[in-house]
């Protein structure tokens, strides 16, 4: 087991497993298929176009043709698909032109994540989400309003110093550290038991925990008291090839806090520890063989603490910049996944709000904190 004590470095208070999706391609993975799109968890077709940066109508038509082919294939194979969620990297100039023809798009443009501040090849481009839900897969109006209010409150928050966040948790008697996924961690019986207790809120079984702990692309930020893990968050590292160029990113995913340790700022602290570790690895060129381009989290609209943490960390919500590109009201992944936990919901799935931070801002905020 690899363990690094952290001296300090974003308010997921009392999360108890209600903040992020359970996983996508597998029970404990959040990345999912790339290209071509394919059937994924939660009755979806998912995919990320890895063939290049789309900069014209021909490229866009080819992209949507690939999605349509995936839908046809899923139907022939008898899959029950009620949502399509696909992503592509598009040039900013072309993206702005799409705002003039949004009514002609075969899928709804759901979110935009600008890639300026990552690497030169991706300057003036953006990662764009497109989605489509069946008539039976729609948000409950009251819950949608609740999620919107939670999001708007998070957007108004002012960023906090990572060091201040870490010290608050430590002053309350918690230690914070990083665990690296791999065979050694997956063979640690004590770690397996503690993570199983934490992530039981997600419905995960011990075999799922062993699988998760064994994945070398995962980092775990943990808060401990009296030798026991009481809160944890996960960063899943991935490198997506876009026409031969690697877009290196980390998805900040599932987090959980044991009952009795809520409202202590622990998720805010463990996720800050994770961001600090990602930055330090990146600056050494050790983030999947290079430097990180961005971190991304798809935050549950029904979990105010998770949304607030994103705001406290200085992440940008996709919904904050949609209007800038001619797509107001975007930044929501409608009925994207089911998130088990302690918050009841009327709709079958949860609405998520993407929040991100690119390399330039990560380095500015989390270097030597």
First-residue to last-residue Cα distance in the chain = 25
In 3-state terms, what secondary structure has residue 88? Answer: strand
Is residue 293 within 8 Å of residue 248, measured between CB atoms? Answer: yes
224, 230 contact by CB (below 8 A) = yes
Report pLDDT for 287. Answer: 96
Within-domain flag for 15:
yes
pLDDT in tens, 86-132: 999 999 999 999 999 888 899 999 999 999 999 999 999 999 999 99
Residue 84 belongs to some domain of the structure: no
Q: Is residue 118 part of a domain?
A: no
**Nearest Cα to Cα of residue 295 among 284, 282, 304, 306:** 282
Burial 319-356 (b: 16+ CB within 10 A, else e): bebbeebbbeebbbbbbbbbbebebebebebbbbbbbb
Q: What is the model's pLDDT at position 368? A: 65
In the Cβ-directed half-sphere of 38, how many Cα atoms lie within 13 Å?
Answer: 9
What secondary structure does DSSP assign to 120-165, as a single string? GGGTTEEEEEEEEE-TTS---HHHHHHHHHHHHHHHTPPP--HHHH
The answer to whether position 275 is within a domain reads yes
Does the residue 72 lie in any domain?
Answer: no
Question: CA-CA distance, 24 to 341, in Å (whole number)?
Answer: 17
Q: Which domain holds residue 185?
A: 2-30+142-366
Evaluate whether residue 242 is within a structural domain: yes
| Residue 235's CATH number | 3.40.630.30
pLDDT string in tens for the chain (369-residue length): 333 333 332 223 334 343 434 334 344 455 667 899 999 989 999 999 999 999 999 999 999 999 999 999 999 999 999 999 999 999 999 999 999 988 889 999 999 999 999 999 999 999 999 999 999 999 999 999 999 999 999 999 999 999 999 999 999 999 999 999 999 999 999 999 999 998 877 778 899 999 999 999 999 999 999 999 999 999 999 999 999 899 999 998 878 888 889 888 899 999 999 999 999 999 999 999 999 999 999 999 998 989 999 999 999 999 999 999 999 999 999 999 988 654 577 899 999 999 999 999 999 999 865
Residue 73 lies in a domain: no
DSSP strand E in 134-262: where? 175-180, 218-225, 228-242, 245-257
3-state DSSP assignment of residue 202: helix
For 1, the enclosing helix (H) or strand (E) is none
Number of domains in the chain: 1
Q: Residue 83 falls within a domain, yes or no?
A: no
- Write out the H or E segment, with its range, that includes residue 352: strand 350-358
């Amino acid at each position: 087991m690899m363990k690094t004590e952290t001296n300090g470095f974003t308010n997921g208070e009392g999360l108890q497993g209600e903040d992020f999706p359970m996983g996508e391609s597998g029970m404990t993975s959040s990345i999912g298929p790339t290209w071509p799109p394919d059937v994924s968890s939660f009755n979806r077709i998912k995919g990320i176009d890895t063939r290049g940066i789309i900069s014209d109508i021909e490229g866009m038509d080819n992209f949507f043709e690939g999605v349509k082919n995936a839908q046809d294939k899923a139907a022939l194979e008898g899959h029950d698909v009620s949502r399509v969620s696909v992503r592509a990297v598009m040039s900013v100039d072309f993206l702005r032109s799409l705002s003039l023809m949004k009514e002609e798009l075969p899928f709804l443009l759901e979110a935009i994540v600008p890639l300026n501040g990552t690497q030169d090849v991706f300057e003036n481009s953006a990662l764009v989400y497109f989605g489509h839900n069946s008539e039976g897969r729609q948000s409950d109006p009251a819950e949608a309003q609740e999620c919107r209010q939670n999001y708007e409150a998070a957007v108004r928050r002012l960023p906090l110093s990572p060091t201040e966040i870490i010290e608050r948790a430590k002053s309350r008697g918690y230690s914070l550290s990083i665990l690296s996924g791999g065979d050694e961690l997956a063979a640690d019986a004590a770690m397996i038991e503690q993570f199983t207790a934490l992530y039981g809120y997600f419905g995960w079984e011990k075999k799922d925990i062993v699988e998760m702990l064994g994945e070398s692309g995962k980092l775990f930020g943990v808060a401990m008291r009296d030798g026991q893990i009481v809160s944890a968050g996960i960063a899943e590292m991935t490198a997506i090839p876009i026409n031969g160029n690697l877009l290196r990113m980390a998805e900040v995913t599932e987090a959980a806090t044991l009952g009795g340790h809520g409202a202590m700022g622990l998720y805010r602290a463990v996720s800050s520890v994770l961001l600090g570790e990602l930055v330090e690895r990146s600056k050494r060129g050790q983030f999947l063989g290079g430097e990180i381009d961005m971190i991304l989290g798809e935050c549950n609209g029904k979990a105010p603490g998770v949304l607030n943490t994103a705001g406290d960390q200085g992440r940008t919500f996709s919904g904050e910049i949609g209007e800038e590109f001619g797509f107001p009201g975007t930044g929501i992944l409608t009925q994207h996944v089911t998130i088990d936990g302690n918050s009841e919901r009327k709709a079958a799935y949860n609405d998520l709000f993407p929040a991100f931070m690119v390399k330039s801002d990560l380095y500015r905020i989390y270097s030597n904190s």
